[in-house]
Structure 1
Amino acid sequence: MARQDINRSGEMEVFVQVVELGGFSVAARFLRMTPSAVSKLVARLETRLGTRLVNRTTRKLLLTPEGRTFYERSVGILADIEEAERSAANLDDPRGLIRINTSAAYGTHVLAPLLADFLETYPGISVEVVQTDLVVDLLAERADIAIRAGAMRDSSLVARKLGETPLVIVGSPAYLARHGVPKTASDLEQHSRLGFGYVRALREWSAPEGETIVQVPVIGRVSASDGEALRHFAIGGAGLVQLAQFTVAEDLKAGRLVTVLDDPRTRLSEPFHAVYVGQGGHLPARIRVMLDFLAKHGRVS
């Protein structure tokens, strides 16, 4: 039975370098080993194999016939190992399924317009997208990447920041025509404030009241589980809502929504992150290329 403590591929790599570089000393420098360590390793290899692999002289190293055969077979085996490792890591051609759990707003306004370019760039990758604003357990949901707003709190997760976006309070022209345009925080008491149907990090709106800034609770007759639903409710005239600016940029441009109480002193912002489990150096290539793609093309502002 073969001994379990023998690093055969390591022995082969050292021997191949000795042959290709033409000596123990130069191979030792290349491998960051001592010449004596390289010499002893080759000697142990010869003892284990029961045959001489090289004839050493003071000026050069000559392979025996057995050494030539062992060298040629070692080169092929090491190449096979490298190819197997590259195939497992998908370094040349990332493949497989990526499961992305994203907020509805980011999925609709940022990810959806980018996805075709990503799929064209990486034809071996397929993507499954689940849109929810609720914070999920990545492992339980079998998600590779979650895209979330707000500060990072779970230290077991790793994150790539995708930018930071201002939060704006908006309403439809029709709603504001019926209920008036609020000028101060006190005016918001007369308005329906559309809110999220779950606890969020930002639970109140900041609004100016004279020279001071006050926090206004979100109280209204309508709540929803995601920002996209609230955006549509606001467009339909159900009330005012505070959302990330990038999610309503087209609505503001088209006049479907308008901002209110847009005071630079009260303008909050919210960071977005691509969150994943595990350190970047150990990520499958399919996930690594998606994270790099989002960091370059999927930023918010």
Structure 2
Amino acid sequence: MPKSNPVFQPLAPLAQAAGLEINRFAELQTFVQVAQLGSFSAAARARDVSPSAVSKIVARLEARLGVQLLRRSTRRLELTAEGEQLLESGKQLLTDWMALESSITQQGQPTGVVRINASSTTGQRLLVPLVSRLMETWPGLQLDLSFTDQVVDLIAARADIALRWGQLPSSDVVARRLGRTRQVIVASPAYLARRGTPQHPDDLAQHVRIGWNYPRAVPHWPFVVDGQKRAVSMGDILRVNDGEAMCALALAGAGLARLSLYHAWDDLHAGRLKGVLEDFNCGDLEPIHAVYVGKPGQLPTRTRAVLDFLQQHVDLSHAEIWPAALQGR
């Protein structure tokens, strides 16, 4: 008889001694392995239990079914007709069960749909550039991307992962921090030529602030003045609910905007935007997290693969420090 069967390799050993309640599936596992290995002692060694425990498990199975499955002699075991029938059907049942487990837990290469939610700006500027590489790394994945500046409920939106900026409130979600970015105040050269460049936070009363229209939006901008952190009010306020719209308005000369450095990076380097009041910047670093619902150890392989990829490839180190190349611009 064959020595082993791969069906049993991933299964945990039976640690229950005879006399403890054994489920029917465990009984079937034990019987099939005894039949394939040809003895109770061989099956016991494979399962790291005593031969008497294996013998009692098989005896319990026979008693419950009301038939003899094995003929025992001093030299060998022989299957009865009922034992042969149970062995063939049992092997197929165990194989089907392992296939079902594998399809649910997605062992090996991650496959299936992963739904990711992000703000419009984050989705387009941070996530989209990584999508091609992610799909090449895990070709079995399908991505469903939703970009909105409204904070969605992950369960209601059926999202597996959401990318969120800022400090997270207490909730049922679990978070992985992907990076941080400095906040900068910017304006177009045309706006500064028309309205003047503010030299002190008090000058902002004469300028247009482009802000957020969310209920949770902060109504002031923070600065450090004379060594003290201070919230400074603005003059006229233009409100939007979309990061790309805020950047576009700043580029169009509509006013001053407080953006993340990663968001404004390309436009600052190209000279389309200029940083202002950097001497008073309080240096706040805003974190970005990948959040999800569920226990870290019980995530589907597909979700865990995307989280690991994002944590490895999202690089915001350049956006934490005001670059020397922009000094004086």
The answer to whether 1:128 aligns with 2:161 is: no
The answer to whether 1:40 aligns with 2:50 is: no
Equivalent-residue separation in structure 1 for 2:141 and 2:248 (angstroms):
32
Residue from 52, 56, 72 that aligns with 1:55 = 72
- Residue 233 of structure 1 deviates from its aligned partner by 0.8
Residue from 309, 316, 320 that aligns with 1:293 = 309
Equivalent-residue separation in structure 2 for 1:199 and 1:61 (angstroms):
78
Q: Give the structure 1 partner of residue 258 of structure 2.
A: 242
Aligned-partner SS, 2:144: strand
Equivalent-residue separation in structure 1 for 2:283 and 2:120 (angstroms):
22
Q: Which amino acid aligns with 2:132?
A: A
The answer to whether 1:252 aligns with 2:256 is: no
- Residue 280 of structure 1 deviates from its aligned partner by 3.0
Deviations 1:143-165 (A, max 9, x none): 22211111222421122221111
Question: Is the alpha carbon distance of 1:300 and 1:56 closer, same or farther for their aligned partners in structure 2, counting shifts above 3 Å?
Answer: farther
The answer to whether 1:210 aligns with 2:220 is: no
Question: Is the alpha carbon distance of 1:202 and 1:62 closer, same or farther for their aligned partners in structure 2, counting shifts above 3 Å?
Answer: farther
Aligned-partner SS, 1:250: helix
8 Å CA contact 2:114, 2:302 repeated in 1: yes
Q: Which amino acid aligns with 2:272?
A: R
Unpaired segments ≥5 residues, structure 2: 1-20, 318-329
8 Å CA contact 1:174, 1:237 repeated in 2: yes
Equivalent-residue separation in structure 1 for 2:71 and 2:227 (angstroms):
87
- Identical-residue share of aligned pairs (%): 45
Aligned-partner SS, 1:182: coil
8 Å CA contact 2:209, 2:234 repeated in 1: yes
The answer to whether 1:229 aligns with 2:245 is: yes
Equivalent-residue separation in structure 2 for 1:22 and 1:259 (angstroms):
79
Question: Is the alpha carbon distance of 1:196 and 1:33 closer, same or farther for their aligned partners in structure 2, counting shifts above 3 Å?
Answer: farther
Equivalent-residue separation in structure 1 for 2:253 and 2:272 (angstroms):
10
Q: Give the structure 1 partner of residue 79 of structure 2.
A: 64
Equivalent-residue separation in structure 1 for 2:95 and 2:162 (angstroms):
37
Q: Which amino acid aligns with 1:270?
A: E
- Mapping of 1:17-36 within 5 angstroms? 17-18=33-34, 24=40, 27-28=43-44, 31=47, 33=49, 35-36=51-52
8 Å CA contact 1:203, 1:217 repeated in 2: yes
Equivalent-residue separation in structure 2 for 1:203 and 1:18 (angstroms):
73
- Residue 264 of structure 1 deviates from its aligned partner by 7.8
- Residue 234 of structure 1 deviates from its aligned partner by 0.8
Task: Provide the TM-score with structure 2 as the length reference.
Answer: 0.78
Equivalent-residue separation in structure 2 for 1:203 and 1:20 (angstroms):
74
Residue from 5, 15, 27 that aligns with 1:11 = 27
Q: Give the structure 2 partner of residue 268 of structure 1.
A: 284
- Residue 185 of structure 1 deviates from its aligned partner by 1.7
Q: Which amino acid aligns with 1:51?
A: Q
Residue from 170, 193, 196 that aligns with 2:209 = 193
Name which of structure 1's ranges 151-160 and 34-43 shifts more when overlaid on structure 2: 34-43
Question: Is the alpha carbon distance of 1:24 and 1:241 closer, same or farther for their aligned partners in structure 2, counting shifts above 3 Å?
Answer: farther
Aligned-partner SS, 2:278: coil
Question: Is the alpha carbon distance of 1:42 and 1:108 closer, same or farther for their aligned partners in structure 2, counting shifts above 3 Å?
Answer: same
Equivalent-residue separation in structure 1 for 2:157 and 2:233 (angstroms):
32
8 Å CA contact 1:167, 1:269 repeated in 2: yes
- Residue 42 of structure 1 deviates from its aligned partner by 1.4
The answer to whether 1:182 aligns with 2:194 is: no
Deviations 1:162-181 (A, max 9, x none): 11111111111221222222
The answer to whether 1:79 aligns with 2:95 is: yes
Question: Is the alpha carbon distance of 1:152 and 1:36 closer, same or farther for their aligned partners in structure 2, counting shifts above 3 Å?
Answer: farther
Question: Is the alpha carbon distance of 1:166 and 1:56 closer, same or farther for their aligned partners in structure 2, counting shifts above 3 Å?
Answer: farther
The answer to whether 1:150 aligns with 2:163 is: no
Q: Give the structure 1 partner of residue 112 of structure 2.
A: 96
